[in-house]
Every structure is written in C-alpha cells, then in structure tokens.
Structure 1
Amino acid sequence: MRDTLYIRLRDTAPDALTAYALVSSEPLDASLARPGVLVRELPLDEVVALGAGRRVVVFVPGVDVRLTTVTVPARQPAKVLQAAPFVLEDQFAEDVDTLHFAIGTRLGNGSFPIAVVARSHVDEWLAPFNAARVRVAALVPDTLALPWQNDGPWSVLPDAGQMIVRSGAYAGFSCVPEDFDLLLELAENGTQASLRVLVARDDATDYTRLNRPLHLLPGFDHPLEAMVRYWKPAQSIDLLQASYSQRDDMNRYWQPWKLAAQLAAAALVLGIGLNIVESSRLKAELAGLQASNEQTFRRLFPRETKIINLEAQVEQQLRLLRGGSSQTGLFELMQSAASGLSENPGLTLRNIQFREGALFLDLSGSDLQVLEKLRTWFNSHRGAKLDVESADSNENGVQIRLKLTSVAA
C-alpha cells in the first residue's frame, strides 16, 4: 500500500510553512482512530514535492466551506448535485456559477449533505499541486476531519488563533476564540451541547469555564495530528467532485469530458511544437518526454493501442474531435498561443486550461522580460487579447499565468 501524505493547507504561498505527516499505512480497522503520527513543517513547495508517488490528502480551511443539506426528489447523487445549485441559490449572495458544490452520503431523512465553496478557493488550493503535477486524492474541509458520533458530543479543536467545531454529522463552524462563546450559543439554539475538546499536550486552557458537559481528549502535539487520527472518509465530503474530479475511469467519463480530452490533445500537440523549438536545450529529456506523451495519449485514447507516429496520430484524433464539437473559439486561441510563444522564445508551457470561453496558460521562464515581449506581440496582433493573471518571480525563475480571450478581428 502506498504511503499517504496528509497536508494542512492554510497558505498557498510556495514558501509558506506547511504542516504535513507521512503515514505508511492505514489501520486494519477503519472504524478505529489512527495511531499518533509525527507532524513536521516545511515550505509548501517542498511539501508538495513529497507527494510524488504517494496518496495525498489535503485538509483545507473549513471557514471557507459552507455546509448545508438539500432535499430533492432525485435519489442519484449525480442528479442531486445537478439540482443543488438551483435549489440553494437563494441562500447565497454570490452567483452560483462562481460556486462549487460537492455532495456527501445520503442521510437517514432522505436529504443529502452539501459542501459549497468558491471555485476560486478550490483553484487556489489545487494550483501548487497542479503545477508540480502531483495528484490530490482528497480535498477535505478541516471541520469534517474532527471525530463525530450520532447523538454524541460536539468536537472542538482549538488551533492557533481559531476554534474549529464539528456540531453535526455534516455541520460545524470556525471562529476566533473571542467569538467562540457567542457562536456556540447561536449554534446550540437554546439547548446546551456536550463538548469533546481535543486538547494539545501544551494547552493549559481551563475549558471548565464553558459550563457545559465536557470531555477532554488530550494527547496530540499538532492540530494536523488530531485530524489524521480521527478523519473518516465516509463521514466527510471530498471536494474533488464534478469538474474537479480526479478519477481515471475514462469509459465512464468520456462523454462529459470530451472537451477536456480535446484540450489535453491540443496541449499535447502544442507541447510537442514547443519542444521542437527548444530541441537544442531539451535533447537530453526527449526520451522521457516521448514516453510521457505516449502514456498521456493512451490514457486519452484507450482504443489506440499501437503508436507508430505520435504527432500524426494526435493530429488525427484532434481532427476527429473538432468534427464533433462547436468549440470553435478554442482552436483559434490555441493557434494564437502557439504563434505567440514560438515568436517569443524563453517561456515553457506547464499547464493549459480552457473554460468559459478563455484559454489559461501556466508558464515558467528565466525572467519577466520575455513576458513584456509577449504582451507587446499580442497587442500588435488581432484576434486574441492577453491578460496577465499573475507573475511571480523568485530565485528559480518566474511563474506566469496568462488568460487569452477572443476578440473581434
């Protein structure tokens, strides 16, 4: 069994100190708490690198995730998830198109638990892993990593500068310590709850002041240790659903993900083109890159079992996909991106996405001068508008995220 890397993600800056724990195996009985684990801290980019070849579970701030329930006539989770944004839209001030909905296991009363989070948060959380090509197995609100038993006490995890509370199977809240008493009373709704407080070894706080039935659960050194010990996947909600799903079942998802397959195939062609431009620098890596491209091609097109000419076969599959799609703007933007990058060498394509009519490019390079040349080039060429989403520079070079949108000629 692969090692599992557990990460407490609170800051997505590459140099942000991030807590992590490596666990060699899961307990034989999933109903039991995991034994104590050793938590360490490293800069986030180093922690992410540890995820290569391991199962990665990431706990994200529950304060950014709203937990609710929905009741609809459908019983199939996929259909419930499709209906949830329309049923719940009156509960949110934001446009539901900017929100991501994830579903949990059906409850005894027939309703379904739903986790709602801004798509921008999920994109930000996953960005460091996508950039490093590390697959995340589960993205879990830290609220739902605390222990829970039906009709049992509420779980409270004191953390640096906040209190994390699980008040139900799929309910909870986070707050600063100063607001804890007030929010606790509001959540109790007139009936005092018994509390289970997960206490760190160095925590000398007197929790008897809460004046409620109290059970102290001591014995851990770091909040992440408590989450790793008590998290039960069946009692939580994995946010990696719908468009963020990490599953590899191509047969099941081929039709809904046809556009994604187009993008991946187009990215493969563009990647081959860029590698040809930089061939003098990348000759030593061509063998490994070719094997990676062939593996990607076989995953995207499982019926193509024999590879003779990879570039020609990719182009053939891309033509077939174009023949069955109305996504005309995609290919114009891909052509503009390829032309701009070829005319302005010095940037390496790391990732590419197409959504909501725009093409997003993640690039790396040695300095920002190339970015200025690329911006000038797009200003003088009609057909695509270039926006710089972000540009970060450090000792390892620059990381750039660009957005291309079509404009009238």
Structure 2
Amino acid sequence: MLIVLLPECRQEEDLAQLPLYWWQLERDGQIVSQGQDALSTLKARFPTERLRALAPPMAVSLYRLVMPVRRAAAIRAALPFALEDQLSQDLEMLHCVAGPRRDDGLIAAAVIDDSRMQQWQAWIADSGWRLEALLPLPALHAEQPPASGLRVVPSPWPSAVPLALVTAQDQEPVLIESGLLGLWLKRRLADLPEAQKRVELRGYSAESLGLGSEIEVLDFSGDDAAAGGNAVLQAGLTASLAASPALNLLSGPYAASMAAPPWRKLRPLMVAAGVVLAIVLAQVMVEWLTLSRERDRLVAGIESVFNSSLPNSRMTPFPAEQFRQVLSGATGTTQESGGGFLYEVLSAVKASAGAKVVQFRASPTELDIELQLSSFAELETLRANLAGNSGLSESLQGADSTPEGVTARLKISRSAP
C-alpha cells in the first residue's frame, strides 16, 4: 500500500509536479520505503501499488456531535443539521462525512470544502492513480487518547511549520501550529472540568507554553523524542491501512469502490480462456497437418496404383486433375459426348473374338484400356480393326504373354477431323 500526504496549497498550476511525502507500507503497517516525489513519478515507480491519501490538517475540520439516532442512514441524513450551528459556511459548499460513534457516545464527523475534494480527485485521476481512500490526517490518532485531560506531543508528520498533536478523550485529535499551542491550550483547558485539567507533555515544557500551577502537568520531555515520534507516526500509518477506515472522505458524491477493478476479478477467467483458445488452435493445427499428410499419402497411393496397373500411362492426367479439367472445359474437348467415343472402341473390342476388357480409364477424347486376348494374332486383328476406323487412332503401350494368353495395354484416342 502507498500512502501520500496531500499538499495544503491550492494553486492548481503547482500540483502537477508538486512533490508529496509518501510511505510504502507492508500489510502489517511496517514502512518499506519513504520519500518525496510527484504523483506521476510514483506511478512510474509503483505501477501496481494501491493508493490512499491523507488530507492535511488545515483542510479538514473534525467534530464530535450528539446524535441520538442509531441507523447509519439516519445519521447521514441528520448530519448537516447537527453541524449547522457550528459552521459559518454554506452547507451546500461543504462535504460532510459521518464517522463512528466514540466511547463517549458522540458521533465523529469530518467537514471539508467541496472545491478541495474536486481539485484533489481531478489531480489524482490526471496522474493515472485510482484512489482507494482519503483520510483526515488527525483522525488517524483518534485511538491514542490519554486516560484523562490532554496529551500534547510534537507532530511526526512533515509540514511547512512545526505542528503539535493534541489528543483527548472528549474531542477529536487536533494538529496545532506550535506557535499557537500555548494560547490554544489555555482556552481548551478553561473549558474542562477541574478533574480533567491535566496535560501530558512530550517535547514541550509547561514554562514554554505558559501553563499555570493550577494545571496538573505530566512532563515527559526527558523521554527519547525521536523514538516517541516514530511510534506515533507508525501508529498513524498502521491506522490508515484499516479495511474500512473511519471518516473516509470518499463518500457520497465522491465515493470510490474499495474493491478491485472489475477487470481484475475477470483476470483468472481471461487467462483460462486464453489457455483454452491456445489449446484449441494447437489442436486444429495438428489436425490440419495430419489431414494434409493423409491427403498426400492418398495421392501417392492412387498414383502408385495407376502406375502399377498402367505403367506407360503417365501421359494421361492424374484422375483428380483430369476430373477438374473436364469440369472446367480446360481439356479442349469438343461439345460431343464421350459416350460415342467409348461405344466405338468397345464395339471394335466386342467384334474381336476372345477379347476381354480387364480395366480401362477414359476421357472424352482418350482411352487407356487393358485387354486379355487368346493370342498375339487376335491382338493384331483388333489393332487392325481399330486402325480401320477413321475416327480413331491407337498405340500399343505394352503386351505380355501369360499362361491364359496375351495381356495388352492400348491407348486409343479420337483422331483429329
């Protein structure tokens, strides 16, 4: 978690590159690193960190109010009316936030100018950050009051002028300029009952603050001021990490979801979908390669069968290519049907006694045929009959003598007119 302390200045032109004090915290509140940088620099340095901001003490006023209602909705509705007598500004220009009910039964409340909220939100959004919470700085010390009276310690928070942190049981914590602390304490102690007129001092003396002898003063100025300041700072930073921090100013019209962005919830689903898609694409690619190899194997097998059946028929196009040529008319055949050509050839074969067709392959203008004949004499007679047909021309592709007679392979084509 990244905690930043917002500036007290209001000049918009100074905000873009204004260095802010920041602390990077572990889950248990331990400080990992700290420094002073602009928000844009922090975004580049900590792109994945969550961000919470602290409103400076001079920008926020804290109150404790008597509110008998218990329901949160009723408290929010009654809050402006409960604050009306304590505020001099128009309520329409202020942002009021109800906090928890303290141990004394009073409701804590925070009030801030709307213009500051709008300025801070726009500035943080322009820097690329998504703010989770905006907390009043003094409210981080509400859980550190003394048993009675007041406790005054030097503020451990960085600021332009020295500040004092004042905590009490009956009021919200206050950060006061050290130069005004003596006057403020006298007025504050005057309002306390006699039993509560006691002050615990760390880092200050009763003489420097002008406190009279009638005030019970517990002086801890001899303690290790550095160690005490570090403990106060650590306690405040730890309080800022609460899951539901009290007096979060990002409420009402400035509310921001504390949950993770919607896309972050879908990230596991998107990763799973990406993995499934990659597996499906890989499977499709493997199947495509397998089918391609199977196609090539089948093509080679078909060619092997035709080559073994008609070894001298390589001039005839491959059957699949032959079929494509016939469909597209790319073979240059005439419009005459191939049925007449086949009929003429088979009629001549039938006229030759003892000739039997073993297999053939035909196109509209060409025929490869394998015949079984009883002798070479019958083969020559058949060839003579075919040659005597003026529309046909034949060539002997091969002839073999077998125990059953003669096997011959002929290529017959239609003669050019």
Q: TM-score, normalised by structure 1?
A: 0.50
Which one has a bigger Cα radius of gyration?
2
Which structure has more RCO (C-alpha within 8 Å, separation ≥ 6)? Answer: 1
